[in-house]
Structure 1
């Protein structure tokens, strides 16, 4: 009888522990491949997520083109968070994302920046003359053929008639944050970055904002990758669409769209 009582007691302890336990999470954290311009916001969101008792995601930041190519080559990402639609479409056409999870989550704008103490003034609009403002320096931008911020910047300069005057004087960086750093360190007198990047660096100032109609809409889509086997990926995606993440994104200057999209736009 004593043995039965002890067994029953142990069984009750196990049952109590199971009932009182929190939700079961995967052994591995969710891996997010995210555009470099998202770093400040996503770092804040990851911290808040962990403070709620959830496993902090592992976030890898780089230019969207670099991340998309890595996923194409089999890199183990659970979520892809791009700074433009093109690179998400690139993966979608290869069936490397789950289209039913795709969301156009954020919007942004691009700006012309200078070092914080520079007195550079530029009149933004058609006929923009950046060559004169650059002097003997170079214009820092993300790679204009691949990095989203570089592509947006080139489109805007072409629309405003300034590209021909500066195309041979562009310092093309591997990501928008690398372009930001060139200006922040005073290595380039002007640069083109996202408004959110400029707000994140006290060593630069915004000289002018490019008109929204001078470039394609700046949209950040996010989706779960096709090969993700992490059961927590959907929970993190839902959190990114929720109110806590919305506040963090808006704090950094993003506009939250939160539009589900199941096909390339």
Structure 2
């Protein structure tokens, strides 16, 4: 039996990638070994010598960094996502009152951890965009935001929905692909972010230098129409129109 192709991947791919790996194995007979986690921490593991064949990140920066230091080649965008807000229904949050609700000091805001997890970086990019339009607000939100998941020092297994249900926060900034899992929960609402505040979210993929043909085959499969259809089914967006 062939050695598994080792892929380290962003935790937000935890529902989509097993389906893609299963389809790849069914098509090729090549097994896949999948390890998930915050992309920034996975990149650090790779730099420290952890074995891998492919790295799938929730941003382009981490893959490009591995290319720049000679550990991988050709960072490519294979999927896109959106930042949305998952909020307790009683908060009454809408796109129209977003700035007002966020401005209230009593509103408890949750994010992932910037630096360790791209989701946190995207949330803070949103705050930067708010700062441009509403001076003082973005900086205040960075100070008030509770970085509760995705970090090297945060407990594993926490979810945005659980944090909201437990009263830790009133809302959480995260990926649309995750929030969609709670579409039918009457206690939660999903609110889109106005385009002027919304960061561009691209998922990047790199192949280890010297990777075997089996890893190349998985990389190519991840760029196929079949894989893209599976990603879209799991709440991601088409890579069409993504930047280089």
Aligned residue in 1 for 2:208: 225
Does structure 1 retain, via aligned residues, the 8 Å contact 2:3–2:31?
Answer: no
Aligned residue in 2 for 1:17: none
Distance 2:100 2:68 in 1: 37
The 1:206/1:88 distance shift into structure 2, 3 A limit, reads farther
Distance 1:260 1:194 in 2: 17
User: How far did 1:181 drift?
Assistant: 5.0
Q: Does 1:253 align with 2:235?
A: yes
The 1:260/1:155 distance shift into structure 2, 3 A limit, reads closer
Per-residue CA shift, 1:42-70, capped at 9, x if unaligned? 01112222333523311111111011111
Distance 1:179 1:80 in 2: 23
Aligned residue in 2 for 1:124: 95
Does structure 2 retain, via aligned residues, the 8 Å contact 1:142–1:178?
Answer: no
Does structure 2 retain, via aligned residues, the 8 Å contact 1:111–1:206?
Answer: no
Q: Equivalent residues in 2 for 1:5-154 (5 A)? A: 27-52=2-27, 54-99=29-74, 102-115=75-88, 118-124=89-95, 127-132=99-104, 135=106, 138-154=108-124
Q: TM-score, normalization: structure 1?
A: 0.76
Point out the structure with max Rg over C-alpha.
1
Count of residue correspondences: 230
User: How far did 1:190 drift?
Assistant: 0.8
Distance 1:183 1:260 in 2: 32
Does structure 1 retain, via aligned residues, the 8 Å contact 2:164–2:170?
Answer: no
Per-residue CA shift, 1:141-164, capped at 9, x if unaligned? 111344211111111123224433
Q: TM-score, normalization: structure 2?
A: 0.81
Which runs of no fewer than 5 residues in structure 2 stay unpaired? Answer: 152-156
Which runs of no fewer than 5 residues in structure 1 stay unpaired? Answer: 1-24
**Superposition RMSD in Å:** 2.8
User: How far did 1:207 drift?
Assistant: 3.5
Aligned residue in 2 for 1:243: 225
Does structure 2 retain, via aligned residues, the 8 Å contact 1:45–1:248?
Answer: yes
* 3-state SS of 1:144 partner: coil
Distance 1:232 1:260 in 2: 26
Does structure 1 retain, via aligned residues, the 8 Å contact 2:5–2:33?
Answer: yes
The 1:257/1:68 distance shift into structure 2, 3 A limit, reads same
